[in-house]
């Protein structure tokens, strides 16, 4: 009767929903562009700038004059406005029209998994908003074992939302909120199946609520019949817990969250059967009648032989492993011989998978379901999937493990936190979200991560980081933009030195308009340094670039002082841990153009300019000793 009433109330809710839909005008969601979409751009009176383009995998399009511009996530009108804004640097009052020629259904997929009738990936309808409930209907609706109250929605940016669709039966027509392309919807089971055997009132298979404790499950089986028993929990062939019943009921043991197909063995000293657990269809206790072999027990328990999913069978007798054999559809003769082993009362047969099946979704090169060896970890799986796409946010990776959510920050692996690289389990769903941040590091005022903004340029990103520490320290001629496996070098030195740092002041073709994408890393390197001392205006460390000579670095150090002796200049360079001294006459280089007297300078070189008050060979020897000491010191400190 309860089932009928539930069905009637649910039908009333749906009829009410349909009635309201017919009497109200729905608010249709405007289509937003996705990677793979084909669009036509019309720039009025500019046929060379018009034409069809495809939104790239990174969400950007490439246009003449303005370069890369983000399109994914924008409506066609919003994109037209962004293009017009960028073109105002080159055209007077440009007018742009953007039309969608063809959209990519794959880009508008959502993933519905868990307790639904047909789990998988489904394209969202092109027009109109899609609710969580609508999306679940795309997957055939809920299965009989679905938990309507704890549905989880994982967004592309890593956010997670818990939805309660039980309210739908009470007339709540919001449907759990709007689904976006790339979302993953997980419908957890309301009940899990566990096997309970041993010294209990009723041996068998039981359905228990997903949040039930070990004590709840044992209570469903009628309770323990021998107070001296030990409660053992097996999962996938592995023993997860072994605790005396007296300690369990006293609350001395942490609560263990049960999972689907767990085997609970309430064991006593005298056991009249064999316990089978793990990858079998009928786990539990099998009574021994006469001589029973390992192969016979596996057949009775319904072990599944498959080339795709090999397994390992272990026999544990009185706490010791007495046999371990690999088993699959191509089992060889020695393995068959071991399967003829005769079992004894109390033996535990653990059937463990040698592979696990996991699903990887999100910002990776090859999302999908993978069959991987047991023991594989998250970083190994990412490698199997071809690596990450440039916009991946590895600081907010999540694993959905049978309804439990494990959050990972894989950036901590570089700090030595290996706990973030967790071992995978069968059925894991790993989601790598898309990053909406960029990173700026190197010779900037405030290195770190920053929120990505549409149409952000390299200059914008460096500006967010407070700008370069100084024009003397930062090598702005070789700024690196790292986007996935692509590294691009841009020259921003002229822009910073002349003050041309805004988009409005930029000229056509200026490299400072180079776009930044979500997940990009901008590295502002420090300048390679040489050291100039003695008769110069600003002695100290001086940035050097390829082609800089002794005269160049002296000029960059403020030039020589009035009493500088340019015919007595010393260059010291460390070669193979030993100083090499060159005495130079810069007057020859200046007056006669002798390049040998002003050679190229390398990072780490020390240049010493003598002064007129320093006379004689004693002073020169002191100068050489000082230059050698400085050169050796800077060389070893810089290693």
Tell me the CATH number at 87: 3.30.1950.10
Instruction: Output the six-digit token pair for 577.
Output: 């841990």
- Residues paired with residue 342 on neighbouring β-strands, in sequence order: 293
Helices (H), 118-201: 132-138
DSSP string, 10-35: HHHHHHHHHHHHHHS---PPPP---T
Q: Which helix (H) or strand (E) holds 359?
A: strand 355-362
Q: Is 276 helix (H, G, I), strand (E, B) or coil?
A: strand
Which of 153, 172, 187 corresponds to the end of one domain? 187
Total domains present in the chain = 6
Which of 502, 524, 546 corresponds to the end of one domain? 524
**Domain assignment present for 92:** yes
Q: Do residues 602 and 573 lie in contact, with contact meaning Cβ atoms separated by under 8 Å?
A: yes
Question: Tokens 């790239």 — which residue?
Answer: 56
C-alpha to C-alpha distance for 425 and 372, rounded to whole angstroms:
10
Question: What stretches in the chain show pLDDT beneath 70?
Answer: 1-30, 57-58, 103-108, 126-128, 157, 168-176, 236-237, 254, 269-272, 288-289, 304-309, 328-336, 390-391, 403, 414-415, 484-485, 495-513, 577, 613-639
For position 468, what pLDDT does the model report?
Answer: 85
One domain for residues 121 and 91: no
One domain for residues 202 and 143: no
One domain for residues 469 and 542: no
CB-based contacts of 289, cutoff 8 Å, min separation 6: none
CB-based contacts of 484, cutoff 8 Å, min separation 6: 388, 389, 390, 519
For position 584, what pLDDT does the model report?
Answer: 92
Which of 317, 335, 353 corresponds to the end of one domain? 353
CA atoms within 13 A on the CB side of 328: 11
Report pTM.
0.51
C-alpha to C-alpha distance for 341 and 335, rounded to whole angstroms:
10
One domain for residues 196 and 222: yes
Question: What is the CATH classification number for the domain harbouring 548?
Answer: 3.10.560.10
For position 618, what pLDDT does the model report?
Answer: 44
One domain for residues 312 and 380: no
For position 387, what pLDDT does the model report?
Answer: 81
One domain for residues 338 and 381: no
Structural domain of 465: 437-524
For position 560, what pLDDT does the model report?
Answer: 92
One domain for residues 337 and 222: yes
Strand runs labelled E in 457-499: 479-483, 486-490
One domain for residues 331 and 367: no
For position 30, what pLDDT does the model report?
Answer: 60
Torsion, Cα of 620, 558, 544, 475 (10° steps): 150
Task: Please return the burial class of 307, using the count of CB atoms within 10 Å of its CB with bins 0-12, 13-18 and 19+.
Answer: exposed
Torsion, Cα of 576, 577, 580, 586 (10° steps): 100
**Domain assignment present for 126:** yes
Torsion, Cα of 188, 189, 191, 194 (10° steps): -100
C-alpha to C-alpha distance for 141 and 410, rounded to whole angstroms:
35
C-alpha to C-alpha distance for 555 and 537, rounded to whole angstroms:
9
Q: Which helix (H) or strand (E) holds 217?
A: helix 214-220
One domain for residues 203 and 333: yes
Q: Kindly give the pairing relationship between strand 151-154 and strand 184-187.
A: antiparallel
**Domain assignment present for 265:** yes
C-alpha to C-alpha distance for 442 and 476, rounded to whole angstroms:
11
DSSP string, 515-568: B--TT-EEEEPBPEEEEEEESBSS-EEEEE-TT-BHHHHHHHTT-B-TTEEEEE
Residue 339 sits at the vertex; the CA angle it makes with 336 and 340, to the nearest 5 degrees, is 100
Instruction: Output the six-digit token pair for 402.
Output: 């049978």
For position 240, what pLDDT does the model report?
Answer: 83
One domain for residues 159 and 68: no
For 621-637, write each residue's pLDDT tens digit. Answer: 555 555 555 555 444 44
One domain for residues 428 and 442: no
One domain for residues 277 and 345: yes
**Domain assignment present for 299:** yes
């Amino acid at each position: 009767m309860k089932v009928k009433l539930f069905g009637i109330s649910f039908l009333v809710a749906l009829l009410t929903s349909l009635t309201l839909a017919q009497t109200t005008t729905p608010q249709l969601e405007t289509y937003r562009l996705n990677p793979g979409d084909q669009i036509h751009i019309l720039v009025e009176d500019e046929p060379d700038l018009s034409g069809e383009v495809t939104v790239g995998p990174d969400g950007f399009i490439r246009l003449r004059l303005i370069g890369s511009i983000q399109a994914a996530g924008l409506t066609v009108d919003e994109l037209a406005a962004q293009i017009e804004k960028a073109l105002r640097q080159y055209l007077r009052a440009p007018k742009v029209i953007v039309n969608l020629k063809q959209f990519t259904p794959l880009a508008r997929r959502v993933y519905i998994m868990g307790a639904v009738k047909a789990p998988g990936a489904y394209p969202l309808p092109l027009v109109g908003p899609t609710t969580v409930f609508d999306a679940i209907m795309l997957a055939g609706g809920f299965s009989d074992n679905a938990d309507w109250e704890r549905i989880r929605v994982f967004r592309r940016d890593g956010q997670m939302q818990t939805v309660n669709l039980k309210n739908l039966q009470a007339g709540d027509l919001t449907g759990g909120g709007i689904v976006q392309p790339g979302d993953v919807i997980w419908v957890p089971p309301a009940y899990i199946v566990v096997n309970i055997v041993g010294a209990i009132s009723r041996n068998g298979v039981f359905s228990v609520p997903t949040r039930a404790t070990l004590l709840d499950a044992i209570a469903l089986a009628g309770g323990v019949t021998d107070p001296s028993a030990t409660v053992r929990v097996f999962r996938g062939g592995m023993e997860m817990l072994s605790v005396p019943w007296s300690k369990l009921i006293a609350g001395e043991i942490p609560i263990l969250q049960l999972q689907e197909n767990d085997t609970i063995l309430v064991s006593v000293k005298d056991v009249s059967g064999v316990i089978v657990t793990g990858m079998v269809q009928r786990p539990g206790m099998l009574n021994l009648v006469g001589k029973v072999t390992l192969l016979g027990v596996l057949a009775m328990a319904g072990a599944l032989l498959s080339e795709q999913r090999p397994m390992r069978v272990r026999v544990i007798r009185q706490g010791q492993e007495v046999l371990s054999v690999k088993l699959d559809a191509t089992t060889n003769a020695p393995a068959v011989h071991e399967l003829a082993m005769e079992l004894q009362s109390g033996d535990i047969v653990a059937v463990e998978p040698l592979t696990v099946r996991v699903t990887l979704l999100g910002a990776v090169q090859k999302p999908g379901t993978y069959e991987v060896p047991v023991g594989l970890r998250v970083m190994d799986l990412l490698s199997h999937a071809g690596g990450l796409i440039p916009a991946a946010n590895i600081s907010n990776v999540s694993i959905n493990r049978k309804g439990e959510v494990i959050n990972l920050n894989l950036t901590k692996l570089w700090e030595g936190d290996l706990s973030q690289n967790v071992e995978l389990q069968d059925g894991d769903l790993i989601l790598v979200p898309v990053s909406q941040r960029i990173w700026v590091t190197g010779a900037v005022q405030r290195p770190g991560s920053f929120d990505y903004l549409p149409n952000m340029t390299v200059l914008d990103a460096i500006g967010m980081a407070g700008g370069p520490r100084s024009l003397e320290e930062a090598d702005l001629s070789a700024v690196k933009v790292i986007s996935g496996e692509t590294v691009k070098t841009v020259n921003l030195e002229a822009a910073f030195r002349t003050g041309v740092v805004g988009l409005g002041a930029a000229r056509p073709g200026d490299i400072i308009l180079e776009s930044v994408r979500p997940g990009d890393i901008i590295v502002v390197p420090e300048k390679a340094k040489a050291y100039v001392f003695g008769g110069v205006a600003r002695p100290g460390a001086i940035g050097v670039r390829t082609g800089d000579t002794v005269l160049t670095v002296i000029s960059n150090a403020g030039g020589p002082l009035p009493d500088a002796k340019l015919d007595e200049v010393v260059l010291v360079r460390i070669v193979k841990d030993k100083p090499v001294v060159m005495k130079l006459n810069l007057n020859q280089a200046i007056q006669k153009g002798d390049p040998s007297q002003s050679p190229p300078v390398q990072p780490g070189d020390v240049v010493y300019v003598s002064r007129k008050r320093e006379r004689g060979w004693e002073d020169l020897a002191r100068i050489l000793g000082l230059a050698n000491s400085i050169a050796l010191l800077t060389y070893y400190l810089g290693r």
